[in-house]
Amino acid sequence: MELPESNSTGDDKSVGFEAAKKIILRWDSTASEDAKEKMIFESDRQEADLYLQAVDEIQRSLSNASLSDDRSKATTIQIAMARLEDEFRNILITNTAALESESLTDPTSSSSVHSHLSSRSSNFEPEEEFILNTEKLLELEHCESADSSRGRSTSSIREMDLMPPEAICDLHAIAMRMISAGYLRECVQVYGSVRKSAVDSSFRKLGIEKLSIGDIQRLAWEALEGKIRRWIRAARVCVRILFPSEKRLCEQIFVGVGTSIDDDCFMETVKGPAVQLFNFAEAISISRRLPEKLFKILDVHDALMDLQPDIEVVFDSKSSDSIRVQAAEILSRLAEAVRGTLTEFENAVLREPSGPVPVGTIHPLTRYVMNYIGLISDYKQTLIELIMSKPSTGSRYSGDPTTPDMDFAELEGKTPLALHLIWIIVILEFNLERKSKQYRDASLGHLFIMNNIRYIVQKIKGSPELREMIGDDYLRKLTGKVRHAATNYQRATWVTVLYCLRDEGLHVSGSFSSGVSKSALRERFKTFNAMFEEVHRTQASWIVPDTQLREELRISISEKLIPAYRSFLGRFRSHIESGRHPENYIKYTVEDLETAVLDFFEGCVVSQHLRRRSQ
Amino acid sequence: MPATDYQGTSSAPFSNFGRSILSLRRDQVHAMEGAHDGGVQVDELEAFQRQVADLFLNLSSASASEELLSLAWVRKLLDSFLCCQEAFRAILYNNSAQVLRPPMDRLIGEFYERSVKALDVCNAIRDGIEQIRQWEKLLEIVLCALDNNDQRALGEGQFRRAKKALIDLAIGMLDEKDSGQTLAHRNRSFGRNSNSSHASRDHHHRSLGHFRSLSWSVSRSWSAARQLQAIGSNLAAPRGNEILATNGLAAPVYTMGSVLLFVMWAMVAAIPCQDRGLQVHFNIPRQFVWAAPLLSLHDRIVEESKKRDRKNACGLLKEIYQMEKCSRLLSELADSVQFPLTEEKEAEVRQRVKELAQVCETIKEGLDPLERQVRELFHRIVRSRTEGLDSLGRGHHPE
């Protein structure tokens, strides 16, 4: 049924108006059960069109009519608006339900640099574990190139269609009427409340939880790590897909009615969720500075940094200032947290109180620190920008025995990050020295230092980035220390042993033998044997993990021991052999000793007695 | 002022020194000053106590424009906190060496733990502010409906519009436990002969249910009351030996902790948040100069919360009360009017609308700045804690 054309002039186009009023009253849901049961916009198209035309008619006549009719018209309009509000809400709700079954996925492909790296910092499950099935969204997957460097354009934003176009059309039609009748506020409120619940349920699907700062502080680290990973993926989806899609929906529904309206609706919808999203990152930035958290904090920092340009684009209106500001604040707090955590790490390395390890091998602290440094160099790109000041070495040259000294003057031209790395190694060495003094056997202390510094050297050499940052000068210093420790070890162990094989003290003048004191000689052999056996027994159980170093050390020992023994034997064996029980004194051949040296630093327990080939 | 409620366990007798908070003998005080390296300046500590006292006295003397628990007063409260915070920070800075020594390091560490708990309260308050904003927006609908600026006579339509918004507001402002009852009421009152059997199909009902559950950004188990308890746990006035051992610094730590607790408590009292409970004990020895004004404020607020018409309020903020009152009066008016309106009725409506407009104006002007202040509080607490923890970390030398 077509409404008759209304003429622009004149009187109360009563025919058009009356018919329109009838339509509106017919659909008054407070007046009839039938009106309440059915929805206009779920019925056929014609009903909806008719209704809208009726509303328009009333509106038109309201602006032209005389005062006396106003009240009933105003009531009619109110009834129409209340009805439209219901319809609006209904269309939103119906079409929102359809959306929720769509899957949401992280638009960053798993080949991005940092997600690869984060696999090294913890036991890492593949990116795919999170991703649900994604027919429609696969095209969004590959929008990121492998280069996930910062400051790129926001081509990473992808808007999804949240509603079928017919629904959007209807919503727009209704919104127009409501707004022109002065019912903008109701419209915005309904829109906001329905869409916000949609966003909330998407959040739940993405695994974004409502965690307080207290909750996060109480979480065990492994649990928190998992949540951080999930958050990073979720944040990318929210900022790059979810929020922009909502924004576009607002723009589509409220097109042509002034930009601030769609802004307001957008903010109604996403402000709360956005703040909730960022609250998590904020909580991370506030948490206690535990060294093991450094890399996850860096991950959050980098993820947020990556999202900055997109955040600027999505939240570009005046009313969303606070969100942009909060994101920037959080980013800078995360940077602070990174710096603080690094400092805390340095303190922890300095303080670490455990004793030395048995058999002088690599201390877990050394492994941990070198592993940590390795990860630092992986995250070099970000850290170089974040670490801006030299390490605070506290008392430099203060003579304070509790902190090492470091002269930064000779390290000109290095980035602060590199200085920190060197400082960390200096602290580690310092701590290791402290530990080495706790060995009862000084030789073992030296071996310990030798092994650990060697480990450090090898780790640095094994990583080009690390080597480049630490520099060959310092590397040389460290290598020198290894050598020095080896020398110390040799002196500590072998000087006394070789002392047995010296010439002096054996020759006696005026004796009727060939000038050698047999008793002294026997003493010497006995002492040598005992000492060597002891050293052999002990040091066979010691460990030098580095194969090359082990070989070198053994060779170095042999080089001193074997010729000395051979020469001693050569000069004095006859004196012993001419006496009684020579086998008690000359227990070992040169070959025996050579073989025995091979046992050194193998880390195994040998039987009390050396193998003997003699006799 | 007899020191009757103070249990000192130190052997030194406690005598009164008028305004001297430390309540130590003068010679003991002098012994602290200039003790070993950098003795704490007693003047500085006393000045701090006086400053806190002054701020609270100021808050107590509510003027007409800054009535107790009004938006303006709450903002003054937060400002006072920020002042105390800065002064406290200065004391810690000036006495950094002392802060690192036990038992002060433990005391300050506890304080930082307390302050982290306050951060969640700040976030919850932001939520509450948003909640108030939503209510204000509903009132704007009412104003829009009943605003008679264009001289058109108010008809049934406008009243129905206003009534709808007023009911939404009433439901929104309810305490959670009461909401079921009133939803049914809403269905009934909404139409002349609608019945609640179609409640399931009532779209309003559905979306209003959303209204409540979505509004909090914290999990369902979070509780403002519990959080306040946590902030106040183990907050006890320092004993004499603690004061001596820390060269007096234990006192400002306790003071700041108490101020923190009070401010958080007052905010929770004023602004809606999840599980608002006001059962927090303030056990402050009267020697502290600020104890009396703080405790009197506390008592007045508690009294307010017990008043008959405020017992079930979702927040004690004066403006919330005004919103409730105005909207209730308007609601009653709307229910009672016959059309066409008599001149008398119309005048009454206009009056109520004017009052409502006033409240809305106040709220609109005051909420944004309040939110910014809460955020500022958040920042300062974080910053002071970070600085403090960092310097504690630096100060620790190996064994």
At residue B4, the pLDDT reads: 39
A420 Cβ contact list (under 8 Å, min separation 6): A342, A346, A387, A390, A391
Instruction: Note which residues in 116-175 of chain B have CB less than 8 A from chain A.
Output: 116-117, 119-120, 123, 126, 130, 137-138, 140-141, 144, 152-153, 155-158, 160-161, 164-165
B169 chain-A contacts, CB cut-off 8 A: none
Which chain A residues are closer than 8 Å to B146 by Cβ? none
For residues A59 and B138, the model is more confident at: B138
In this structure, which amino acid lies at residue A215?
A: D
Furthest C-alpha separation in chain B: 87
Instruction: For chain B, positions 266-305, list CB contacts with chain A under 8 A.
Output: none
Ranges A6-10, A20-24, B143-147, B393-397, most confident: B143-147
Question: Containing domain of residue B179, as a range?
Answer: 16-22+40-396
**Burial class of A314 by CB neighbour count within 10 A (0 to 12, 13 to 18, 19+):** buried
Interface of B with A in 209-268 (CB under 8 A): 210-211, 214-219, 222, 227, 230
User: What token pair was written down for A589?
Assistant: 């051949």
Closest-CA distance of chain B to residue A185, Å: 6
Which pLDDT belongs to residue A213?
93
Matching CATH number, A101-342, of 3.30.460.10, 3.40.50.300, 3.20.20.70, 1.20.1280.170: 1.20.1280.170
The identity of residue B298, as a single letter, is H
| Mean pLDDT, range B225-242, rounded to an integer | 93
* DSSP assignment string, A33-74: HHHHH--GGGS-HHHHHHHHHHHHHHHHHHHHS-HHHHHHHH
Is the pLDDT score of B369 beyond 90?
Answer: yes
| Tokens at A566, concatenated | 């051979």
Q: Which of B96, B100, B115, B120 to mutate to test the interface with A (most CBs of A within 10 A)?
A: B120
- Using a CB-CB cut-off of 8 Å, the residues of chain B touching A333 are 382
Chain A residue numbers touching B394 (CB-CB < 8 A): 343, 347, 392, 394
CB pairs under 8 A between A and B: 150
Asked casually if ipTM beats, i.e. exceeds, 0.90, the reply is no
The answer to whether residue B30 sits within a structural domain is no
The residue ranking higher by pLDDT, A145 or B368, is B368
The CA distance from A74 to A92, in Å, is 26
Q: In this structure, how many other beta carbons lie within 10 angstroms of the beta carbon of residue A168? A: 18
A209 CB neighbours in chain B (<8 A) are 219
Minimum-distance CB partner of A30 among B138, B191, B390: B191
Count Cα neighbours of B359 within 13 Å in the Cβ-side half-sphere: 27
B18 has a chain A CB within 8 A of its CB? no
User: Contact, A163 vs A198, CB < 8 A?
Assistant: no
Structure tokens belonging to residue A466: 């690390």
8 A C-beta contact, residue A339 and residue A386:
yes
**pLDDT for position A2:** 44
Range B105-120 average pLDDT: 94
Q: How far apart are CA B119 and CA B309, in angstroms?
A: 31
pLDDT at res. A304: 96
**Does residue B35 belong to any structural domain of this protein?**
no
* A78 vs B157, B214, B389: nearest CB: B157
**Average model confidence (pLDDT) across chain B:** 80
Flag if A182 and B379 touch (Cβ within 8 Å): no
Q: Which residues of B touch A193 (CB under 8 A)?
A: 207, 210-211, 214
Number of domains in chain B: 1
Give the 3-state DSSP-derived string for A177-238, with helices as H, strands as E and coil as C. HHHHCCCHHHHHHHHHHHHHHHHHHHHHHCCCCCCCHHHHHHCCHHHHHHHHHHHHHHHHHH
Asked whether residue B27 is domain-assigned, the answer is no
Answer whether A214 sits within 8 Å of B130, measured CB to CB.
Answer: no
CB contact under 8 A, A30 and B194: yes
pLDDT number for residue B16: 31
Residues of B in contact with A81 (CB under 8 A): 161
pTM for this structure?
0.82
pLDDT reading at B180 higher than 80? no
Beta carbons of B211 and A193 less than 8 Å apart:
yes
* pLDDT for res A584: 83
**Mutation target vs B (from A37, A78, A344; most B CBs, 10 A cutoff):** A78
Q: Are the C-beta atoms of B152 and A70 separated by less than 8 Å?
A: yes
Domain assignment of residue B355, yes or no: yes
d(CA A99, CA A87): 19
User: Do A101-342 and A503-597 fold alike per CATH?
Assistant: yes
Question: In terms of DSSP H, where are the helices of A392-517?
Answer: 416-436, 442-461, 464-470, 472-499
Interface contact A351-B160, CB threshold 8 A = no
- State the smallest CA–CA distance between residue B291 and chain A in angstroms: 29
Beta bridge partners of B266: none
- Please compute the mean of the pLDDT values over residues B24-37 and round it to a whole number: 48
State which of A152-156, B78-82, B190-194, B195-199 shows the largest mean pLDDT: B78-82
For residue B191, tell me if it sits in a domain: yes
Distance (Å, rounded) from C-alpha A261 to C-alpha A256?
A: 10
**Domain boundaries in chain A?**
10-94, 101-342, 352-492, 503-597
In chain B, what percentage of residues exceed pLDDT 70?
A: 76
Taking CB atoms and an 8 Å cutoff, what residues of chain B touch A217?
116
Regions of chain A with pLDDT less than 50? 1-13, 98-102, 109-153, 395-397, 613-615
What's the pLDDT tens digit per position in B48-95? Answer: 999 999 999 999 886 666 789 999 999 999 999 999 999 999 999 999
Which residue of B lies nearest to A73 if distances are taken between CA atoms? B157
Are A82 and B153 inside 8 Å of each other by CB?
A: no
Minimum distance, in Å, between the CA of residue A329 and any CA atom of chain B = 9
Answer whether B158 sits within 8 Å of A182, measured CB to CB: no
Q: Please say if the pLDDT value at position B183 is more than 50.
A: no
The CATH H-level (homologous superfamily) assignment of domain A503-597 is Exocyst complex component Exo70 (1.20.1280.170)
Residue among A77, A194, A214 minimizing CB distance to B117: A214
